[in-house]
Amino acid sequence: MKNNKTNKNVAFKLSDCSGANAEFASKFHGIFTSQLAVYLRDTGKCSANIVEDKDPIFKQKFESLRSLLERKYVAQVKAASKCDSLAEAFKKTNHLPKVSSFLGKNDRQINTWVLANIFDSSVPHLGSQIDEGVAVTIFQEFLLTHDMLIPNISLSQNDKMQIMLRSIAISKLLLMQILSKLGLPSNEQSRYVAMSNPKVKSHFENLATFPKFRQHQVNEIPQARVYQEEILESFRKDLKPQIKKTKQMLIATSVAAGILFVSTAYLLSRKSKKEDKPLSAVKRFEREPSFEQDNDTLVDSPVYGRSRLYIDEVPSHESDPRYYVQTDLKPVKI
């Protein structure tokens, strides 16, 4: 008995081409894959090098996404011969017709794949990172902060999705910042191409490696700080009933999650007269997250993100050891 189920991972082939477009039919798979990779790059989700990843499991998962999107793209073409229609349009522009808008319409599905296989994956794929891993690092630091502060409540996929989108947005803003400082073009077409510039690459390596330096750069970008606070504010509602118990634990442990310690501590301990509104999920990034700034900003002091919350607590005799916390840490050899 024949198996009528189609293997969706088999490379899709256009079968209704005329003889003049037979060559296009043989190249269609590679063309679509290339334009999908460019879309992923231009939207800051991952590097176009994703198609060259050597991990067989990861390659299979990417092929599943590509195959699904490719079939959907061809299915939407309204023509007697889908192949000839696509081929003739491609000859004119060297670009598949309306492929960018098609991928944009399927952005939610693409984001779901990126979240599961890159950002929230326990297996690193460094070669697929477009920004030296900055966006993924920011995303995972937020998750670590949440899990340490609120270990008994799991983040939903939608929450993670919105945190991922804001992490990508922060990384984009950091890229625009350094391009501006270096006087390099920062439009959509050239933005990520500039990552090959040695100075830009080195800057992002430092951003990924040094959390304090990264936070200092974020503090220079008001919108990036807005995105940070929106995420932290979404955590705050679950902490409210236990803030008194949590604050000491926060101060003691959340530094492990990176420089977010300072901004989180400030956010949770600030005195706000605003009415608390429950946030079941972070607002959708696609709708341009709104934020009403008042006198309470994420970080008051521009020096490496140190909050004004602690400035008044600096002892007047800093050389006196009585002013410093004592630990039970034993010396280690490294």
* pLDDT tens digits along 57-106: 999 999 999 999 999 999 999 888 899 999 999 999 999 999 999 999 99
Residue 44 one-letter amino acid: G
Query: What pLDDT does residue 127 have?
Result: 77
Lowest mean pLDDT among 118-132, 164-178, 188-202, 300-314: 300-314
250: Cβ–Cβ under 8 A, 6 or more apart, which residues? 149, 261, 264, 265, 268
Query: What pLDDT does residue 314 have?
Result: 43
Query: What pLDDT does residue 11 have?
Result: 54
Contact yes or no for 246/145 (Cβ under 8 A): no
Long-range CB contact pairs, 1-4, < 8 A, 24+: none
Cα–Cα distance measured from residue 258 to residue 228, given in angstroms and rounded to the nearest whole number? 13
10 or 188: which leads in pLDDT: 188
37: Cβ–Cβ under 8 A, 6 or more apart, which residues? 48, 50, 51
Answer yes or no: is pLDDT of 290 > 80.
no
Angle, to 10 degrees, between the axis of helix 157-182 and the axis of helix 107-114? 90
Query: What pLDDT does residue 16 have?
Result: 81
Query: What pLDDT does residue 246 have?
Result: 47
Answer yes or no: is pLDDT of 223 > 60.
yes
253: Cβ–Cβ under 8 A, 6 or more apart, which residues? 148
pLDDT in tens, 235-284: 887 775 555 454 444 443 333 344 444 444 444 444 444 444 444 444 44
pLDDT in tens, 6-59: 444 455 678 888 888 889 988 999 999 999 999 999 999 999 889 988 899 999
Cα–Cα distance measured from residue 127 to residue 150, given in angstroms and rounded to the nearest whole number? 32
Query: What pLDDT does residue 3 have?
Result: 46
